[in-house]
């Protein structure tokens, strides 16, 4: 049984811990019943015990009061780790869906979201990995409500990934505990503008709609080249934001726009080495391949 789970990009600027979107970059997980649980990645075989995919798999059995069935989980990872592209969420969703398949339980995406959030905590990466598209998720007394937004226009997501990792805990530790009313209103207004503009296809509003005062500038201090890249992308695309907790920086561009040539010239002036990928929106969420 094989599942593929998309990479995700959370926050989308002002929608801290709420908004996210799914991308056409995938991790694959193949589950085979076995005598002992193992994780197989390329030539490497390791114990499953502390692995996030397996922990999520086992947690799902626990939830449904089943005895954990030992499995070999063959992993193909294309989503880079600790870069703000939802690699942990992909592992969590992969593990849970694997358990559903082994348990022969009917797939229920809302139920899967609930289990994923008991493991992960922040809904903005797991929701799009489950539902695809752009998602907005809120937690009300432990119950999660997700709306799935299908943007009117098709976009290219220009993904700039640096050659260094930034752990989410570190990127959260630099955020203030309190914010001013002005900053709160700033983010509420941009979030409303962003969502309505995506739905209505008002691309000219995206740059303003992606602005944020809750997390990006604080985290930018941890990321070399942050200001220069933001300026370059804001001048050359429809707008940009810090993907998840970073350090990846994401720009939204018209589908047929290419900035590759300009970026290749610009990147020589940067301190870090940044890889550029051109991705598109995933609209399915996780898929069961067989
Ligand atoms: N919303 C989360 C954050 C995403 O920005 O910290 C990473 O889990």
Q: In angstroms, what is the span from residue 104 Cα to ligand 1's centroid?
A: 32
Position 33 scores a pLDDT of: 96
**pLDDT at residue 83 greater than cutoff 80:** yes
43 pLDDT band, cuts 50/70/90, is very high
Separation between Cα atoms, residue 15 and residue 123, nearest integer Å: 11
Residues in contact with ligand 1 by the CB-under-6-Å rule are: 10-11, 16-17, 122, 124-125, 168, 172, 215, 244-245
Tell the residue nearest (CA) to atom 5 of ligand 1. 245
Collapse the DSSP code of 80 into the 3-class scheme (helix H, G, I; strand E, B; otherwise coil) and give the result: coil
Across the range 82-109, mean pLDDT stands at 97
Separation between Cα atoms, residue 191 and residue 18, nearest integer Å: 10
Separation between Cα atoms, residue 252 and residue 178, nearest integer Å: 30
Collapse the DSSP code of 177 into the 3-class scheme (helix H, G, I; strand E, B; otherwise coil) and give the result: coil
Tell me the β-bridge partners of 140: 143
Q: What is the mean pLDDT of the chain?
A: 96
Tell me the β-bridge partners of 47: 38
Residue among 83, 117, 124, 167 whose CB has most ligand 1 atoms within 8 A, to mutate: 124
Position 15 scores a pLDDT of: 98
What is the number of H-type helices and E-type strands within the chain?
Answer: 10, 12
289 pLDDT band, cuts 50/70/90, is very high
Separation between Cα atoms, residue 135 and residue 161, nearest integer Å: 22
Q: In angstroms, what is the span from residue 288 Cα to ligand 1's centroid?
A: 26
Q: In angstroms, what is the span from residue 11 Cα to ligand 1's centroid?
A: 7
**pLDDT at residue 143 greater than cutoff 90:** no
Across the range 70-86, mean pLDDT stands at 96
Position 19 scores a pLDDT of: 98
Biggest CA–CA distance in the chain, Å, is: 58
Give residues with Cβ within 8 angstroms of 121, minimum separation 6: none
How many other CB atoms are there within 10 angstroms of residue 228's CB atom? 13
Is there a contact between 120 and 15 (Cβ–Cβ < 8 Å)? no
Is there a contact between 39 and 47 (Cβ–Cβ < 8 Å)? yes
Tell me the β-bridge partners of 252: 157, 239
């Amino acid at each position: 049984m094989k599942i593929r789970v998309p990479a995700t990009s959370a926050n989308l600027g002002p929608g801290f811990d709420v908004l996210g979107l799914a991308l056409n970059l995938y991790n694959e997980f193949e589950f085979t019943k076995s005598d002992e649980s193992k994780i197989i990645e390329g030539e490497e075989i390791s114990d499953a015990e502390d692995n996030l995919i397996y922990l999520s798999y086992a947690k799902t059995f626990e939830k449904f009061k089943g005895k954990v069935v030992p499995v070999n989980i063959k992993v193909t990872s294309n989503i880079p780790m600790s870069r703000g592209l939802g690699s942990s969420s992909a592992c969590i969703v992969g593990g849970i869906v694997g358990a559903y398949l082994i348990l022969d339980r009917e797939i229920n995406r809302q139920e899967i979201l609930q289990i994923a959030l008991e493991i992960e905590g922040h809904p903005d990466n797991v929701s799009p990995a489950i539902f695809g598209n752009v998602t907005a998720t809120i937690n009300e007394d432990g119950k999660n409500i997700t709306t799935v937004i299908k943007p009117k226009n098709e976009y290219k997501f220009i993904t700039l990934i640096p050659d260094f990792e930034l752990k989410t805990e570190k990127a959260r530790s630099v955020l203030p505990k309190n914010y001013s009313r002005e900053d709160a209103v700033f983010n509420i207004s941009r979030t409303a503008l962003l969502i309505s503009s995506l739905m209505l296809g008002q691309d000219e509003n995206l740059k303003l709609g992606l602005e944020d005062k809750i997390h990006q500038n604080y985290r930018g201090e941890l990321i070399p080249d942050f200001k220069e890249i933001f300026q370059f992308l804001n001048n050359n695309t429809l707008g940009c934001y810090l993907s998840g907790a970073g350090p990846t920086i994401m720009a939204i561009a018209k589908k047929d726009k290419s900035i590759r040539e300009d970026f290749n010239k610009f990147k020589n002036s940067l301190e870090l080495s940044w890889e550029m990928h051109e991705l598109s929106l995933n609209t399915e969420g996780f898929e069961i391949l067989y």
